[in-house]
Amino acid sequence: MEEYPLTVPSRSAVRVRVPAKINLHLGVGPLRDDKFHDLATVFHAVSLHDELTLEPGPPGVRLILDAAAAEPPADRNPVDDNPVDGVSTDGVPTDERNLAVRALHALAAAAKVEPAVTVRLRKGIPVAGGMAGGSADAAAALLAGDALWNLATPIERLHALAAGLGSDVPFALHGGDALGTGRGERLAPLSHPYRRHWVLAVAGEGLSTPAVYAETDRLRGADASASDPTAVVKALDDPDPTALAEALCNDLQAAALSLRPELADVLAAGRTAGALGGIVSGSGPTCAFLAADAAHAERIAQQLRNAAVPGVSAVLIAHGPVEGARLTVED
């Protein structure tokens, strides 16, 4: 049996806040031999956050879904930020299937530390919503575990561990705006001079990411090439959000609409409410609508709430880009 050195944590609690993402462009290329698709995507981190708090605990990794009130960050803007307890935690596993638990085991094994930790997870990112909430929690767990166990893991090593856990995990560490290639794990930062304002129509029932990719292959053939992200990359440097609205593109959208036809009504409702543009976020079913500014986002959100579109369980407001996973508390 492998011997682990005894590690005495010098911290008694570590909290990490991690954002959701939307894909401003999601170009899906051919199915690879390893069953992943080649992607050309523009990730955009938005101000819906999950929060992970780690404390020393009994041997192993124990995860608790936390509904108790956490202190809001001092700089929270009530107009364009949402409470971290804004979404249902239905469907979030608390065992080894949870990506945060997997991440802590992977980090502990790499560092040869015996994990003995209790994780409290607060979800503010819609579950199975195409906003990479599970991936975000994995990134947060890597950062929090690193701090709790005093590992000082080099960022390249954390990035490699993140990529091993899932295609969207490295971006959740990174945040901001980034071009993702490979299966999304190879990141190149993009300039992001302008704040964008979003309205997010969250569905009550999630969509399975593998099912949406499979439907994409069925609709277009498995060897279709990825659409080109250049227009979105250019639009990021344009202060006029209309340019970005016109460039938004998601190669998974047709499949998400095929599996969930009522999403067409959600997208139409966003346009009727005055959004500059709208798109299915990642594999869906969350729909993201671009607004001209914060007040415009408020008006769109209110109109969408009043419209009570079937299948929409919540309408949230967010802005982006925001920073990636960050420590917020260390004791």
Footprint of ligand ATP (CB under 6 A): 91-93, 97-100, 127-135, 137, 168, 206, 209, 282-283
Taking the complex as a whole, the smallest distance from the CB of residue 310 to ligand ATP amounts, in Å, to 20
Residue (99 or 276) nearer to ligand ATP, CB: 99
The first and second tokens of residue 203, run together, are 């569905």
- Whether residue 103 contacts residue 138, with contact meaning beta carbons closer than 8 Å, is answered with yes
Which of 18, 26, 19, 83 shows the shortest CA–CA distance to 45?
Answer: 19
Q: Rounded CA gap, 165 and 282, in Å? A: 18
Taking the complex as a whole, the smallest distance from the CB of residue 75 to ligand ATP amounts, in Å, to 25
- Active-site residue 33, yes or no? no
Q: Rounded CA gap, 179 and 188, in Å? A: 5
Asked whether residue 284 is marked as a ligand-binding residue, the answer is no
CA atoms within 13 A on the CB side of 88: 11
What is the dihedral angle through the alpha carbons of 267, 268, 272, 276, rounded to the nearest 10 degrees?
40
Taking the complex as a whole, the smallest distance from the CB of residue 105 to ligand ATP amounts, in Å, to 13
Asked whether residue 130 is marked as a ligand-binding residue, the answer is yes
C-alpha distance across the termini of the chain, in Å? 33
Asked whether residue 101 is marked as a ligand-binding residue, the answer is no
Helix (H) or strand (E) holding 221: none
Asked whether residue 1 is marked as a ligand-binding residue, the answer is no
Sign of CA dihedral 116, 119, 53, 109: positive
Which of 263, 284, 190 shows the shortest CA–CA distance to 232?
Answer: 190
Residue (111 or 212) nearer to ligand ATP, CB: 212
Alpha-carbon distance values, 138 to 16, 106, 264 (Å): 11, 10, 32
Residue (206 or 321) nearer to ligand ATP, CB: 206
Residue (215 or 241) nearer to ligand ATP, CB: 215
The first and second tokens of residue 72, run together, are 């809001």
3 state DSSP class of 117? strand
The residue sitting closest to ligand ATP, measured at its beta carbon, is 134
Asked whether residue 126 is marked as a ligand-binding residue, the answer is yes
- Whether residue 250 contacts residue 207, with contact meaning beta carbons closer than 8 Å, is answered with no
Residue (18 or 300) nearer to ligand ATP, CB: 18
Taking the complex as a whole, the smallest distance from the CB of residue 301 to ligand ATP amounts, in Å, to 21
Asked whether residue 134 is marked as a ligand-binding residue, the answer is yes
- Residue of 81, 137, 168, 251 marked catalytic: 168
3 state DSSP class of 255? helix
Taking the complex as a whole, the smallest distance from the CB of residue 125 to ligand ATP amounts, in Å, to 6
- Residue of 21, 50, 81, 137 marked catalytic: 21
Q: Rounded CA gap, 185 and 208, in Å? A: 20
Asked whether residue 133 is marked as a ligand-binding residue, the answer is yes
Residue (61 or 132) nearer to ligand ATP, CB: 132
- Active-site residue 168, yes or no? yes
Q: Which residues contact 156 (CB under 8 A, 6 or more apart)?
A: none
Which of 71, 27, 75, 70 shows the shortest CA–CA distance to 47?
Answer: 75
Taking the complex as a whole, the smallest distance from the CB of residue 136 to ligand ATP amounts, in Å, to 8
Binding residues: 126-136
Binding residues for ATP: 126-136
> Which residues have a catalytic role annotated?
21, 168
